[in-house]
């Protein structure tokens, strides 16, 4: 009798787990159904200089499609060249997708470094460059030692779907706020900055934006996703 109950328990547990996995939506799947339509509409909005419309389209894609999906696992490399797995990060993740040719605001990196040094014990911070090892190492010198500066050289990942999706779907710099289960809480574009801004203005603007994201990560309960739901269409 005891053995039958054990088998029944294992069967029920396996069925529940299978259903949970079956209904899980990966980032690549969610965005794959909508990205072509989004790119066409977004391109037209920029051609029309309708930047309000472009912002609306991005926010709609994030809020109704991406949020609540689970970021696919993929390999990245530290600037030492060591390959690591994205799912190796156990804490919630603050992930910035970047490139060496992006020009940051004058106070952007110092603001990020301050936020990181204040919160790295609770959150894993990752700056991911779509670049070569040499260029990523050059950029790494500017960042706090508490940031994992990593890179993905796309020439080494020509058949990796998630790498192509991450790089080519939303552009960069783009920040992903991710809980410890790798569920995407929110996605935001980099802070726009005029080239003649002062250091203090740039620092404050970027610090406030990063702090807002950190507050979101800390307040999010990964066990209750009632406010973060991925849908098929924006």
pTM of the model: 0.81
% residues pLDDT > 70 (the chain): 80
pLDDT digits (tens, 9 = 90+) for 133-162: 899 999 999 999 999 999 988 777 555 667
- Token pair belonging to 7: 């088998």
Q: What secondary structure does DSSP assign to 156-224, as a single string?
A: G-TT-HHHHHHHHHS-SSEEEEE-TT-BEEEEEEPPP--TT--HHHHHHHHHHHHHHHHHHHHH--TT-
How high is the pLDDT of residue 103? Answer: 83
- Token pair belonging to 168: 């080519």
How high is the pLDDT of residue 233? Answer: 42
The sign of the CA dihedral 23, 28, 31, 33 is negative
- Token pair belonging to 202: 């740039």
CA–CA gap between residue 173 and residue 219 (Å, rounded): 24
Can you say whether residue 65 is alpha, beta or left, with left for phi > 0 and alpha for psi between -120 and 50 degrees?
alpha
pLDDT digits (tens, 9 = 90+) for 49-84: 999 999 999 999 999 999 999 999 988 899 988 999
> Is 177 buried (19+), middle (13-18) or exposed (0-12) by CB count in 10 A?
buried
Domains of the chain and CATH, by start: 71-219 (3.40.30.10)
């Amino acid at each position: 009798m005891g053995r039958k109950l054990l088998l029944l328990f294992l069967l029920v547990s396996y069925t529940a787990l299978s259903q949970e996995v079956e209904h899980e939506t990966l980032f690549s799947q969610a965005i794959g159904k909508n990205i072509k339509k989004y790119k066409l509409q977004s391109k037209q909005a920029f051609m029309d200089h309708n930047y309000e419309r472009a912002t609306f389209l991005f926010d709609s894609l994030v809020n109704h499609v991406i949020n609540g999906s689970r970021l696919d696992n993929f390999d990245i490399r530290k600037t030492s060249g060591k390959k690591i797995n994205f799912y190796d990060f156990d804490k919630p993740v603050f992930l910035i997708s970047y490139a060496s040719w992006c020009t940051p605001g004058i106070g952007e990196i110092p603001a990020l470094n301050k936020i990181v040094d204040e919160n790295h014990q609770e959150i894993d911070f990752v700056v991911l460059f779509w670049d070569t090892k040499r260029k990523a190492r050059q950029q790494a010198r500017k960042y706090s030692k508490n940031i994992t500066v990593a890179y993905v050289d796309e020439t080494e990942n020509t058949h990796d779907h998630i790498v192509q999706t991450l790089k080519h779907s939303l552009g960069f710099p783009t920040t992903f706020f991710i809980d410890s289960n790798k569920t995407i809480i929110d996605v935001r574009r980099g802070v726009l900055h005029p080239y003649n801004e002062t250091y203090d203005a740039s620092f404050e603007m970027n610090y406030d934006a990063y702090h807002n994201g950190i507050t979101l990560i800390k307040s999010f309960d990964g066990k209750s996703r009632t406010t973060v739901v991925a849908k098929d269409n924006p």
